[in-house]
Structure 1
Amino acid sequence: MTGRLAGRAAYVTGGSRGIGRGIALALAGEGAAVVVADTEAASAEAVAAEIREAGGRAEPCVIDVRNYGDLVGMVEQVERQYGQLDIAVNCAGVISVASVEDVEEAEWDRVMDVNVKGVFLSCKAAIPAMRRNAFGRIINISSVSGKDGYPKLAAYSASKYAVLGFTNSLAKELARDGITVNAICPGVVKTQMWDTLSEELKEQGETPEESWLRHILEFVPQGRPQTPEEVGGLAIYLALAPSVTGQSINIDGGLTSH
C-alpha cells in the first residue's frame, strides 16, 4: 500500500476499538505497517485483519500496558516484522466515574497504572528502538479532561493531566534525537468510554442515548461529536510533522481553548 507513511512501522496500544482503532486504520491507510496491540487477541486480530483486507500490513499483539515485559515484546515484534519502529501511539486507557469520596484506593491505582504508568512504560520500551532508527514519532492520547477537570472524573482527569506533563518533559529529552513527542486531547467521541459516561451521568428519566446527545449539545460548541477517524487524521499529521513536539493538541469541536 502506498501513502505518505509508506515504509514506516507503528504500534497502537488500545488499537482494537474506538480511538485506537481509528488511528490504526488511518496509519495503515497512509501506508504504515501497524502492530495492533490490545488485551484481547480476538479483537486485536479483527482490526489487523481489517487492515490486511484493505491491502495494508498489520499484525496483532496481546499486551497489558502495566507490564513492561509485554511492551518490550511488542516493540521487538514491530522490529522483527517490519525492520524498525517509527511511530508509537499510546492509546490504551480506562475511565472511572465517581466522586472523590467514593473512589476506592484500588480504583485510583487502576486508573493511574493504565493511563499514566502504561504511557510511561510504552515510551520507555519504544525509545531505544527509535534511537537505533534515528527517527521517531511518539503520540500519547490524553483528553480534554487533561486540561479541564469535571465532576466525578477526578481520577481520570488527574491521569490525563499527568500524561500532558510527561509528554512535554519527554519531548524536551528527545528533541535532539530526531524523535518528536506529542499528545492528542480528544473531546466527545462515541467510544466505549463515552457509553460508560452516558450511563453514569444520565439524568432521571433519561436514556443513555439522550444523555449522550445532551452532553454534545451542552459542551461542544460545534454541536456535534468528534470521530475516531478525525483523531486518526490528527495522528497522521503528527506522524508527518518534523518540527512539532511537546504539544498537546485538542480535537474537541471548540470545547477547550488551551
Structure 2
Amino acid sequence: MNTLKGRTVFITGGSRGIGRAIALACARQGANVVIAAKSDTPHPKLPGTIHTVAEEVRAAGGQALPLVLDVRDDQLVKQRMDEAADHFGGIDALVNNAGAIRLTGVENLKASRYDLMHQVNARAVFTCSQAALPYLKKSDRGHILSLSPPLNLNSKWFAQYGPYTTTKYAMTMLSIGMAEEFQRYGIAVNTLWPKTLIATAAIEFEVGGPAMMAQGRKPDIMADATVSILNRSADELSGQNLIDEDLLRQDGVTDFEHYRYAAGDKPLLPDLFLD
C-alpha cells in the first residue's frame, strides 16, 4: 500500500474531533496537512485551534499549514485552496469534514439554522470540491472524501430531524455525481460514515451529552479509515459510500476495542442513518 508521504491533504473543520484525528493520521504517514477551520483562537468550551493542531501535525511527522476558513464564504474557500496549493505545490486530497448539526424537525427549527446546516454540510461540498478541482486534476491520485452517510430512505431518519438529514444526504448525492463526473480526470470521490457513534463535541453538546459519548468510539477509527481510502487509486475505489468498520475489516483489522471512547462493555450505539 502507498503512503501519504509528501501528499497534500486539505481538511475542512480540522481543528478538533474527527478532522483533527484525520490530520494526525495523515501526518503520521508524512503528509502535508492543511488544517482549514474557523477556530483561530481558543473556544471557552472546546479544546483545539488550527494552530494547536498544526503543532500536533508537525510533531507527528507531517508538514502543516493552518488556515482560517469559513466554508460558507465562497471567495475565501477559493483563496485558501489557492494558498494551500501554492504553499505545498498542489493538492492531492480534499476531506469535507466541516459539519453543522441540529436534530430538530421542521416545526421547531429556525430557518437560519437550516441555512447554516445546508451551507456547512451540502453547499460546502460543492464549493470546496469545485475550488480544489484544478489541483486535484493535476494529482496522480486525486481524492475527494466527504463525511456523509449512505442514502437510507427509511422514513424514521426523516421523521424527527428531516432538515439535518436532507443536508447530509445532499453531501452523499453530490459525491455520487462527482464520482461519475470526475472519473475522466482519475479523481476518486467517496463518502465515509461511522458504524457507531463517534465521541465528539457535536455529540456532547448537540446530541446526547457525556453519557452518550461513553457508548461511542474515538475519532481515530474514522481517521484510520480515511487514510486507507486516500491510499487507494480511483481505479480501486470510487463512487462508494463507505462505513469505517466495514472498510477496516476489509483491510484485515479484527480488533476494534482500542477505538472505544470509554473502557467497559456497554453496547456501542449505532450512528444515525444505519439500520
After TM superposition, the score normalised by the length of structure 1 is 0.85
Query: Number of residue pairs matched?
Result: 237
**Partner residue in 2 for 1:34:** 33
CA distance in 2, matches of 1:131, 1:212: 39
CA distance in 1, matches of 2:244, 2:140: 29
Question: Aligned letter for 1:181?
Answer: V
The structural deviation recorded for 1:51 is 1.1
SS, match of residue 138 in structure 2? helix
CA distance in 2, matches of 1:226, 1:143: 17
1:248 to 241, 244, 269: 241
**Partner residue in 1 for 2:172:** 164
Q: Deviations over 1:9-52 (max 9, x none)?
A: 11100000101111111111111100100012230011001111
The structural deviation recorded for 1:209 is 3.0
Structure 1: any 5+ residue segments left out of the alignment? 200-207, 217-224
2:184 to 171, 176, 200: 176
Q: Deviations over 1:86-113 (max 9, x none)?
A: 0111100110122321112221111101
SS, match of residue 136 in structure 2? helix
After TM superposition, the score normalised by the length of structure 2 is 0.80
Root mean square deviation, CA, Å: 2.1
1:152 to 160, 184, 188: 160
Is residue 2:81 matched to residue 1:93? no
Q: 1:212 to 1:28 in 2, by over 3 A?
A: closer
Is residue 2:222 matched to residue 1:231? yes
SS, match of residue 11 in structure 2? strand
**Partner residue in 2 for 1:209:** 210
CA distance in 2, matches of 1:192, 1:154: 22
SS, match of residue 170 in structure 2? helix
Identical pairs, percent? 30
SS, match of residue 133 in structure 1? coil
The structural deviation recorded for 1:257 is 6.2
Is residue 2:180 matched to residue 1:189? no
1:62 to 68, 79, 88: 68
SS, match of residue 127 in structure 2? helix
CA contact under 8 A between 2:148 and 2:168: conserved in structure 1? yes
SS, match of residue 130 in structure 2? helix
The structural deviation recorded for 1:75 is 1.4
The structural deviation recorded for 1:211 is 4.4
CA distance in 2, matches of 1:33, 1:8: 6
The structural deviation recorded for 1:227 is 2.1
CA distance in 2, matches of 1:209, 1:133: 42
